[in-house]
Chain A
Amino acid sequence: MKKTVLFLAAILVIFLVSCGGSGSKNIKLGMLYNMTGSQASLDGPSSNGAKLAAKEINAAGGVLGKQLELVSYDGKSDAETIGKAAAQLVEKDKVVAMFGFSDSDMVMAAAPIAAKAKIVFITSGATSPKLPSQVPDYLFLSCFGDNVQAAAAAEYSWNTLNAKSAYLLIDKGMEYTLLLGKYFQERFTELGGSVVLEDTYQTGDKDFSAQITKLKALKPAPDMLFISSGPDDIGTIVKQVRDAGITSPIFGGDGYDTPLLMEIAGKGANNVYYTTHSLMDKNAGSPEVQKFIAAYEAEYNTAPENAFAGLGYDTVYLLADAIKRANSADPKKIREALQTTKDLPGVTGSITFEPGSPIPQKGVAIIEIQDDALKLAAEVVPEKVPAP
């Protein structure tokens, strides 16, 4: 028994020692991504992109004559761990700004803690336009909101694909897919289109024959299918829809931006369209994208896994730009400078914050899959965006 007590005491001592702070002259930015757990496939590339950006900035002389230091913790896709990590960033590491995450739950576990310490939190990949209102003044998006990408999808479908009627399939298991589907429906019907059937499924479902049977029974067949799905399910859905003989265009959001889509659906992926942050293609992408891909490959020996790598990369440049224009690493001045960001070029489009809006004005890339290849179909800035 005595040994047990001594053992516990020893652990406590190690723990308290490990909590000791450290000081440095660098400008410290807190980086929170889920390197393990369910979010790792999105957050891992984001983290790599962010580190690459910091390395480039430091190699070019840093910001205000100081080096940028990314202090990172693994969120482990767990709200409790994220809360603790955010507290450490505020208290022990004394960061001047925080960024990270691609999921609303995760952002909401960290951002209020940053706000309490009067530090901004920029989410690089959580696209819910409802987020900033939950943490007023201190939560910014560096990606577009779901209302923007859904409006872009609706306008492109109406204007370019000449779709008048749509079938809507929504994953009920995610905030992202629910909002995306709702915003698409709102904008599409506003333009004059009609949603002939709305159906749902749950994240992780493997068999879609019930939904497909109902879809096939529709007379006349809808001009297009809008399938609001996350990255893990979309390949399976597209494959089963195509196997059932349905060849209409399939449209979706940035959840489609995963190699899994073409790997699983194969030829079926042709005639699929989706909105995303940018076309991550070595040859067809914009000059910024090509430069980014080359740098990413040199650093990690692999092409960027998805657009989230670019989002992480742009977020660090966004913060560096704000610190430069604020001419100070004071959190309050950084926030003010961030709000006045204008036409900052980036891999995922140029970023401008309108006064009072924490969601950037950004173009939406529409990707088209034809002949087994990704192609940039259009860059769209929607004419009208549904309210968050």
Chain B
Amino acid sequence: MRRDRSTAIVSLAAIGITFLVLWLLHSFGGYYIERIVIGIGINLILVISLNLANGFTGLFSLGHIGFMAIGAYASAILTLPLSLKSTNLPDLPVFLSKIQMPFLPAVLVGGLIAMVVALLIGLSLMRLTGPYISVATMGFLVIVQVVLTNWDSMTRGARTFAGVPEYTNVWNVWIWAILVLYIVWRIKFSSFGRKMMAARDNEIAARSLGINVMASRLLAFCISAFFTGVAGALWAHFITAFSPKSFYFSQTFSVVTMLVVGGLGSLSGSVVGVMLITILSEILRNAERGFSIGPLVIPEVYGASQVIMAVLFVLFIVFRPRGLFGDAELDVRRFFKKEKEVSG
């Protein structure tokens, strides 16, 4: 009981501090910082929901960006102003060409469509294990790519889908991010979550205890697809112009890297992984333009940031193969307790 209450207090305090920091950044940080903060929020949703599928169930999906694409295109089509619809998407089916949805319902619909697709493919894919599932989900990513580039009437094919209203801001992204973090956290420590992890660690043992492995995997996969779809929709309303190739391997690898650096199965790891990689790559991106420390002048070397990041990943995987946190969680209370022990 006491533990529950202290958990609630710590969580509320963390949320409060998060929003205070966001408010400070929003008020004093300027537009550049704001774009970074929004980017971190969207990546948080992507990485946490990928963690739900990959970290908790042990089925390493490489196709999640396909769900992101579905969410992005669904929400973009639903919210596109009617005047733009008639010029940019003249062949849209009648029931879509006459409606323009507000932001929130469109995002939810985007997530739901991604979830339905996940259910349909999950029914067969979730029977696979290990590397087979990675290959099969990557196949799904390719299928989504091909459908998007050929479904001219809905997606404009490979052409830029522009004119998506810019609805995304720091607040709606971070409310979603914290909501997703909270829900996935609750799942991890619920009986569902423990069933998922039991099935991950030893499938046969889990089955012998009467756990429906298929059902728990499918549930994780669908919820995860829903949130990934939501993140895609938020991204669409953030970037406002994109094409199918925005949702392909480079986006997949960037999300997977953040997940692996943080630690598969650890939500604290996902949060730290996203922030660490975003901020580090921003620093390197600015540094590669050349700078001077006193008399020492470093010239511009474009591409250096990607190379340095890649080398860091290699070193990281060699020395910390399980990521920053493994599958453990950061407990703030323990941090304070240790502090007391040391000082006392």
Contacts and interface: CB of A to CB of B under 8 A. Distances in A.
Contact of B31 (A5, A14, A90): A90
Given A11-B280, A174-B158, A175-B158, A76 B246 contact: no
B149 A76 contact: no
Interface string B31-51: 111111001000000000000
A88 interface: yes
A231 to B, nearest CB: 16
A5 B338 CA distance: 14
Contacts of A134: 162-163, 241
B283 A11 contact: yes
B160 to A, nearest CB: 5
B65 to A, nearest CB: 14
A108 B288 CA distance: 24
A327 to B, nearest CB: 30
Interface string B126-169: 00000000000000000000000110000001111011001000
Interface string B243-274: 10110001000000000000000000000100
A328 B285 CA distance: 32
Interface residues of A, number: 44
B279 A15 contact: yes
Contacts of B280: 11
B45 to A, nearest CB: 14
A21 B116 CA distance: 48
Interface string B271-314: 01001100110110111110000000000101100100000000
Judged by DSSP, the binding face of B is: helix
A36 B303 contact: yes
Contacts of A88: 32
- Which of B160, B275, B335 gathers most chain A CB within 10 Å? B160
A172 interface: yes
Interface in B5-42: 30-36, 39
Nearest to A82: B239
B35 A87 contact: yes
Contacts of B316: none
18 contacts: A1-B334, A1-B335, A2-B338, A4-B272, A11-B280, A74-B303, A84-B32, A91-B30, A91-B32, A105-B245, A105-B246, A108-B160, A108-B162, A112-B241, A134-B241, A172-B157, A173-B149, A173-B158
Interface of B: 30-36, 39, 149-150, 157-160, 162-163, 166, 239-243, 245-246, 250, 272, 275-276, 279-280, 282-283, 285-289, 300, 302-303, 306, 324, 330, 334-335, 338
Given A19-B32, A79-B241, A134-B241, 8 more contacts: A73-B285, A76-B285, A87-B30, A105-B160, A112-B240, A134-B162, A172-B150, A202-B149
